[in-house]
Amino acid sequence: MQVAKKFPASAAPDGDRRRLLHGLAALVASGYLPPGVAQPAPANVSAATFAAMSRMIAGYAYDDNLAVRILAALTSAVGAAKLAQIATLAAVVAPGQLGNELKIAGVDDAAAIVVTALYCGVVETTKGPVVITYDRALAWQAVPWTKPNAECGGPINYWATVPKT
Amino acid sequence: MSDVLTADVVIVGSGVAGAMTGYSLARNGVKVLILEAGPRVDRAKAVMQFRSSPTKGPNSPYPTNPMVPQPDDDDIGAYYVQAGPVPFRGLQARVVGGTTWHWGGLTLRYRPNDFVLKSRFGVGVDWPLGYTDLEPWYGEAEEEIGVCGPSDYDWGSPRSKGYPMPPISPSYLDTVIGAACGKVGLSMAPFPHGRNSIGRDSRPPCCGNASCVPICPIGAKYDASVHVAKAESAGARVEPLAIAHEIVVGSDRHVTAIRFKRPDGSVHEARGRIFVIAAHTIETAKLLLMSRPEGSAFGVANSSDQVGRNLLTQLDAGMLGLTKERLYPYRAPVETSGIRELRDGDFRGMHGASGTSPSNEGWSRAIGPFKLAQKFAQQGLRGAALGAAISEHMARELAIGPSVEILPDPNNRVTLAHDRLDPLGLPRPRIYFKFGKYEQDGAKVAMDYVRGLMNALGATDVEEVGPVTDGAVMGGTCRMGTDARTSVVDRNLRTHDHPNMYLVGSAAFPTITASPPTLTIAAFALRAGLQIRTDLNAT
């Protein structure tokens, strides 16, 4: 099935997991520890860790520039501690178990906010939605057979046939 | 210090009605002044604003001025004062170029029977002129707008010449739906469009940006900024942010000036020989009602007490479903084909005609994958599974439903909300609206077919939406007719009460049909232009 080929069961390459673990080592060194352990004030998640986390929980990641902006907005919206907790779990838990572990850790709602923000390029804040990007939102990568609105889809009448993608 | 501007013809409104009228005059040497309440639109900036808007609604790309309020995409009570019982949802864009900035681009002509509802079917009213009177002007309007369309189907409107451009192709979605239509006694045909299928008039061919509503980023789809620019090139003067608020009438019933405000509250005047009010359905009526010359109890051009009455729109119903087969929407102009049936016939004596067409915009237009991401993320989907679910859902989304004609009702009307002033101190429009059995039955008949179509497509997750008033189509409030006691303008769109004032646009339509009104507005505008030139030459 086309969709299954496009989205294999384990979408996170090993390299991403390594980068995520590497980033998390820095968090641990700074004093942040996984759930259940008494924690001091958490350090912010780094851009590299955030990108790796994004690939794990969303399947895709932003480039550095957009990642920095969306990370800043999410840190403000969700809180550094929860963001770090989600990143930790994304790094150490097998993809098939991630949803369950996020629930057990009590950060499932926060993870939904993070995933939604990553897909939509919009971060919901107490002051209303903050649009980080539209045409480069990760959701468009999930539907490569179309384009973001207001972006040229192809030559005239391309829409008459089944997309090749 | 107040400005006094002068011209042969002063036009209020720069949408398709005002721009087309202005261009038809200016290119023939007439000195034209166009007053527009809203600001100019820079297309590139508008696209950027669309991208940064969280809502992506029809008005989201366009610059606004707080002193020139307009309907809000997400809050229909933000500008209109809704008196009910049914919310009126007609969106208008108060910008240079008007509401065509976010029209879908369909350029169906009205059908011969659309002009004779009363005499042919015994309902509504007849227009004071017929299809054959307008047919040559339809052809002119198609040339001006740049219409592409099929050569083998006229959508029930006989043609004296072909379309200026070859048709665009139906979407892949259309071909799937079209095949299923045969199973339920329906058939489909491709629509004519006000968009380029080839390079024409310095505009590129459509490349399927999938954003006709709210904005075409490349100008392949026609909008009235085309004729604003052409009018200016021909010598017309366009004044943005000039908010007309009073029509000045002399003792001989001739209009002498239009008074307008700037956003700073200053008052200015535009004088001319002939005046054209082309400010769309709501604002045209509002301006006439706000103007109270001595001896006029009901406003300008309103000796019949018909100004503001018989407000028209369409009744929309819809059905959403996930088809068995993938359709791949979100890739083409809004609607590329439509169902031929139910648009005309003897049934119009009993219920409204309807135009039904599948949407290429899926369930959620510009934010399709975002809405699904939110939904599926809350359901616990993460990573690859989330992306797969979004893609599969979007590829199968079908949205289809009828837009039904509504009969005129004098109690569906626009009045002035003197208790709800806008920032310039002008009354907002108070709108009374309801729909009745005629249109509800029309929707019911069409929806029965749509339900059968969904079954034929093996659709799941089927949801019915509406009926609600349409957001795009508006008309009435200043109906045309032969009798000055029951109408506001004559068949040439000249007001019965004021020999040198015309009302151009769908405000003058006595009835609305199942077809979009834009091409008919343009045809009437060009026709009015000729009449106005005749008047000028006669004086």
Q: DSSP 3-state assignment of B464?
A: strand
C-alpha B249/C-alpha B294 separation (Å) is 9
Of A3-7, A46-50, B112-116, the poorest mean pLDDT is in A3-7
Chain A nearest CA to B237, separation (Å)? 31
The ipTM value here is 0.93
Contact A53, A90 (CB under 8 A): yes
- Long-range interactions of B161-165: CB distance < 8 A, separation 24+: B163/B192, B164/B200, B165/B196, B165/B197, B165/B198, B165/B200
Q: Report how far apart, in Å, the C-alpha atoms of B427 and of each of B245, B291, B363 are.
A: 10, 12, 36
Q: pLDDT value at position B412?
A: 98
A22 against B423, higher pLDDT:
B423
Q: Note whether B380 contacts A140, CB cutoff 8 Å.
A: no
Confidence of residue A95 (pLDDT cuts 50, 70, 90): confident
- Tell me how far the alpha carbon of residue A81 is from its chain's centroid: 16
Which of A3, A116, A163 is opposite residue B373, by nearest beta carbon? A116
Print burial letters for A14-31: b (CB count within 10 Å at least 16), e (below 16): eebbebbeebbeebeeee
Tell me: the pLDDT tens digits for B243-301?
999 999 998 999 999 999 999 999 999 999 999 999 999 999 999 999 998 777 789 99
B451 against A36, higher pLDDT:
B451
Q: pLDDT value at position B317?
A: 97
C-alpha B124/C-alpha B121 separation (Å) is 9
Q: Note whether B369 contacts A9, CB cutoff 8 Å.
A: no
Chain A nearest CA to B135, separation (Å)? 29
pTM (2 d.p.)? 0.92
Q: pLDDT value at position A10?
A: 36
Q: What does the DSSP 8-state code read for residue B148?
A: B
C-alpha B470/C-alpha B328 separation (Å) is 25
Judging contacts by C-beta atoms under 8 Å, the chain A residues touching residue B330 are 143, 146
Confidence of residue A126 (pLDDT cuts 50, 70, 90): confident
C-alpha B292/C-alpha B304 separation (Å) is 15
**Confidence check: pLDDT of A6 > 50:** no
Q: Does B384 touch chain A (CB under 8 A)?
A: yes
Judging contacts by C-beta atoms under 8 Å, the chain A residues touching residue B336 are 159
Q: Does B50 touch chain A (CB under 8 A)?
A: yes
Q: Does B189 touch chain A (CB under 8 A)?
A: no
- Structure-block tokens of residue A9: 């069961």
Residues with Cβ within 8 Å of residue B490, at least 6 apart in sequence: B128, B480, B481, B482, B496
Helix ranges (DSSP H) in B53-202: 131-145, 172-181
- Structure-block tokens of residue B38: 């809203």
Chain B nearest CA to A80, separation (Å)? 20
C-alpha B135/C-alpha B141 separation (Å) is 10
Chain A nearest CA to B374, separation (Å)? 5
Chain A nearest CA to B97, separation (Å)? 19
Q: pLDDT value at position B351?
A: 98
**Confidence check: pLDDT of A39 > 50:** no
pLDDT > 70 fraction of chain A, expressed in percent and rounded:
73
Task: Report the candidate in B36, B12, B9 with the shortest Cα–Cα distance to residue B25.
Answer: B9
Best of B213, B386, B390 to substitute, by most chain A Cβ atoms within 10 angstroms, is B386
Q: pLDDT value at position A43?
A: 61
Amino acid at A165: T
Q: Report how far apart, in Å, the C-alpha atoms of B433 and of each of A31, B87, B125, B159 are.
A: 64, 7, 19, 36
**Confidence check: pLDDT of A12 > 50:** no
C-alpha B13/C-alpha B521 separation (Å) is 13
Q: pLDDT value at position B294?
A: 78
Print burial letters for B479-497: b (CB count within 10 Å at least 16), e (below 16): bbbeeeeebbbbbbbbbbb
**Confidence check: pLDDT of A129 > 60:** yes
Amino acid at B293: P
Residues with Cβ within 8 Å of residue A92, at least 6 apart in sequence: A21, A24, A34
Contact B317, B464 (CB under 8 A): yes
Q: pLDDT value at position B1?
A: 57
Looking at the DSSP bridge assignments, the partners of residue B339 are B188
Best of A56, A116, A138, A143 to substitute, by most chain B Cβ atoms within 10 angstroms, is A143
pLDDT > 90 fraction of chain A, expressed in percent and rounded:
58
Amino acid at B57: G
Low-confidence residues of chain B: pLDDT under 50: none
Order of strands across the sheet that contains B427-433: B81-85, B427-433, B413-421
Question: Angle, nearest 10°, between helix axes A47-57 and A80-92?
Answer: 60
Average pLDDT over residues A49-69: 92
Q: pLDDT value at position B302?
A: 96
Residues with Cβ within 8 Å of residue A7, at least 6 apart in sequence: A59, B384, B385, B387, B388, B391
| Interface size between A and B, measured as CB pairs under 8 A | 176
Rg (CA), chain A: 17
Q: Note whether B211 contacts A160, CB cutoff 8 Å.
A: no
